[in-house]
Amino acid sequence: MAPFIEIKDLTVRFGEVVALRNVNLVIEEGESVGILGRSGSGKSVLMHVLRGVESFQDISGSVIYHVARCSKCHHVEPPSHVGRSCKCGSTLEPFDADFVSLDINDPLRRDVVKRIAIMLQRTFALYGDERVIVNVMRAVEETGDTMSVHVAADLLDEVNLSHRLMHVARELSGGEKQRVVLARQLAKSPMILLADEPTGTLDPATARVVHDSIKRAVNDFKMTLIITSHWEDVMVELTQRAILLDQGEIKAEGKPKDVAAQFLAMAGTLAKREEVELGEPMIKANGLSKRYISIDRGVVKAVDEVSLEVNEGEIFGLVGISGGGKTTLSKMISGILTPTGGSISVRVGDEWVDMTVLGSNGRGRATKYIGILHQEYTLYPSRSVIENLTEAIGLSLPFELAERKAIHTLETVGFSEEQAEAVLEKMPHELSEGERHRVAMAQVLIKEPRIVVLDEPTGTMDAITKIEVTNSILNAREELGETFIIVSHDMDFVKNVCDRAMLMRNGRAIFTGLPDEVLSRITEEEEKEMLGS
């Protein structure tokens, strides 16, 4: 029997950049294959080629799906179904669909695409104001089919989300949204699931729940799985075989644990964190509180009488499990939220600004010197990198000065001078996820803030990119003298980059000190949730 997917000499170029180079890979029906590689290695490009809904201007080689197809109703099944009866009564016949040579609108290609499910990193694509169960039922609308409430409920059971079926989608957590996405894809009865870093933005404990749902669905629906991830345990637990991509080429192929070890060996080393002489206090908070009124829970103390002091030039971490209050605290520091109690002040020059006072004469004097990189950052998709770093954010400069400043800032976040020059004219979709993240950080730094707030900055990163970002933060502090507030559940990252950290639990500040001291105060349950142990 022919293999399910046969990739031969696949090459994809974007201008002068070769994203994939002579890739050869065979995937059998029912196999689970993992793809490892640093940012920019070509993982996402390969997944989009396999998905088949996009056309590529400069592509060669072949990506052949060997399938069983009904000539009468055009229903498609995996190759093992050749010779069996179709649901319409006709016989399923062997067909080959080459996604490189077939036009994007070719009926055969479109029939195969309908049976391919995909989960993308950072993309939920849900009807935000609809209930969860309605989101699942609407998944089949584009094919003209309808779904009963009972079938939708069964699919939510499949992804362990039956306790959320009446919730409005936009009110779900990231992990819950990703499981709704999986249920919506299962509604289409796929024969293959493409999962491109599906849990990249989630904390390890939540990611594990999603991974378990994927594993169960793959087994129950007898799907072929192709998944990209930078986590070794994902490769070991979810895949039977792994490949290592680097600079668009397959460098290794074999057992997931062996390939993961080769990938981690490519990570390189962290820059040595030099002793830094910190300045005077930059942020002061005393008895800071933020309370909400909830119909279900009454008064919620998101932040409960927290006091802290952060010095100029310091890299200060806020750590703790989800719901601990660290993100709410960071939003009060950056002026997004107004406290309901206590005080918080930020120093601008030699003057202290009361962040509880609204308006341009209040905290508006400080917020223009505070840069924020949210976990769910976005770049302007129709603007080039240099436009994203200048015009798109209201930075009006003569072109030569803008180019010089953009290159310098990109170097600060980890690009070499040559890489920075090459990336300026690219569009965001031409960048890898890690490159987009560093451009987004440059977008914050180019405005010359004095305080930078980073919310889960390593959430979507592989081990190699995480080291690059760690080095870029240390370099930005050294080159630009910035003060950083970092919200993170990644304790290895906090240990490597932060001077001090604060452990938060149930809205309260439990302990502030050196990262190692904070680590020693984390409970076993917190460690399991934060590190996914």
DSSP letter for each residue of 269-300: -PPP-------SEEEEEEEEEEEEEETTTEEE
Distance, in Å, from the CA atom of 260 to the CA atom of 239, rounded to the nearest integer, reads 12
Distance, in Å, from the CA atom of 245 to the CA atom of 263, rounded to the nearest integer, reads 9
Residue 324 identity (one-letter amino acid): G
Q: Euclidean distance between the first and final Cα of the chain, in Å?
A: 41
Superfamily for domain range 280-531: P-loop containing nucleotide triphosphate hydrolases (3.40.50.300)
Picking from 115, 119, 47, the residue whose alpha carbon sits closest to that of residue 78 is 115
Q: DSSP string covering 189-239, please?
A: --SEEEEESTTTTS-HHHHHHHHHHHHHHHHHHT-EEEEE-S-HHHHHHH-
Evaluated on CA atoms 273, 275, 277, 281, the torsion sign reads: positive
Q: What are phi and psi of 96, to 5 degrees?
A: -115, 125
Picking from 532, 474, 468, the residue whose alpha carbon sits closest to that of residue 203 is 532
Query: How far is CA 289 from each of CA 349, 485, 506, rounded to the nearest angstrom?
Result: 26, 18, 12
Class of domain 5-115+190-267 as given by CATH: alpha beta
Return the H-helix or E-strand segment holding 51.
helix 43-51
Beta bridge partners of 195: 119, 227
Per-residue pLDDT of the chain (533 residues; tens, 9 = 90+): 579 999 999 999 988 788 899 999 999 999 999 998 877 788 888 999 999 998 898 999 999 999 999 999 999 999 999 999 998 899 999 999 999 999 999 999 999 999 998 887 655 567 778 888 888 888 887 667 788 888 888 888 888 888 888 888 877 777 788 888 888 888 888 899 998 887 765 656 667 777 888 888 888 888 999 998 777 778 888 899 999 998 899 999 999 999 988 887 776 555 555 667 788 899 999 999 998 876 656 677 889 999 999 999 999 999 988 778 888 999 999 999 999 999 999 998 888 999 999 988 889 999 989 999 887 777 888 889 999 988 777 776 777 788 888 998 898 887 888 888 888 988 888 887 678 888 888 988 888 889 999 988 876 566 666 777 788 788 888 888 889 999 988 888 888 899 999 999 888 999 999 988 988 888 777 776 665 43
Beta bridge partners of 283: 310, 346
Three-state DSSP at 530 gives helix
- Report residue 77 as tokens: 């099944």
The residue behind tokens 């005080």 is 343
The residue behind tokens 């499910």 is 117
Do 5-115+190-267 and 280-531 share a fold?
yes
Q: DSSP string covering 157-201, please?
A: HHTT-GGGTTSBGGGS-HHHHHHHHHHHHHTT--SEEEEESTTTT
Q: Give the pLDDT confidence score for residue 393 in this predicted structure.
A: 73
Q: Give the pLDDT confidence score for residue 112 in this predicted structure.
A: 94
Three-state DSSP at 288 gives strand
Q: What are phi and psi of 476, to 5 degrees?
A: -65, -40
Q: What is the DSSP letter of 302?
A: E
Distance, in Å, from the CA atom of 243 to the CA atom of 259, rounded to the nearest integer, reads 7
Q: Give the pLDDT confidence score for residue 40 in this predicted structure.
A: 74
Three-state DSSP at 396 gives coil
For the chain, the structural domain boundaries read: 5-115+190-267, 124-175, 280-531
Picking from 487, 175, 207, 514, the residue whose alpha carbon sits closest to that of residue 320 is 487
List of E strands, 83-162? 92-98, 116-120
The residue behind tokens 């309605």 is 134
Q: Give the pLDDT confidence score for residue 160 in this predicted structure.
A: 82
Distance, in Å, from the CA atom of 482 to the CA atom of 474, rounded to the nearest integer, reads 10
65 φ/ψ sector (left φ>0, alpha ψ -120 to 50, else beta): beta
Residues 6+ apart with CB under 8 A from 320: 326, 489, 503, 504, 505, 510, 526, 530
Distance, in Å, from the CA atom of 371 to the CA atom of 484, rounded to the nearest integer, reads 9
Q: Give the pLDDT confidence score for residue 273 in this predicted structure.
A: 58
CA-derived radius of gyration, the chain = 25
Q: Give the pLDDT confidence score for residue 60 in this predicted structure.
A: 95
Beta bridge partners of 17: 14
Contact 451, 404 (CB under 8 A): no
Instruction: Give the β-pairing of 5-14 and 17-27.
Output: antiparallel
Q: Give the pLDDT confidence score for residue 340 in this predicted structure.
A: 93
Q: What is the DSSP letter of 508?
A: E
Distance, in Å, from the CA atom of 489 to the CA atom of 504, rounded to the nearest integer, reads 11
